[in-house]
Amino acid sequence: MSITYSLNEIDLAVTYILKHSKSKVLLFDAPMGAGKTTLIKALVKALGCNDTVSSPTFSLVNEYITKDCKLFHFDLYRIKDTEELYDFGIEIYLEDDAYLCVEWPQLLAPILDKPYHVISINLDEKLNRVLELKNSL
């Protein structure tokens, strides 16, 4: 399943994700600059959180809470191995019934024991985003 959108239409991509996701674990697979953080910002807003959303590049994880749910936003770009994931307590986050939005999920995906979706984002020739939602279910 895929959708093509411009940055001005990012809300369409968020609606698409929320409509077609059967899991709250969302792994964002995209090259640098493709719009992973921008899409997660729009997702946090759509879920009802008005906090300022930023990339957790150095903190590794940011938490956002709405009246209906909780969302953890991870940036695992600087993580070098699976041991580092466990060192910062990834298993605690995985046990929670929160949305987990993970940028750079390559080390996390193999150890997940719950259903997840991979959201791939690529740029087309007109610099629109092509989002593909893949299920692990």
Write out pLDDT tens, residues 43-90.
999 999 888 777 777 688 999 998 889 999 999 999 999 999 999 999
Q: Is residue 34 pLDDT above 60, yes or no?
A: yes
pLDDT at 136 over 90: no
pTM for the complete prediction? 0.91
Structural element, H or E, at residue 4 = strand 2-5
Which pLDDT belongs to residue 57? 74
Check whether 137 has a pLDDT greater than 60: no
Q: Work out the average pLDDT over 113-120.
A: 94
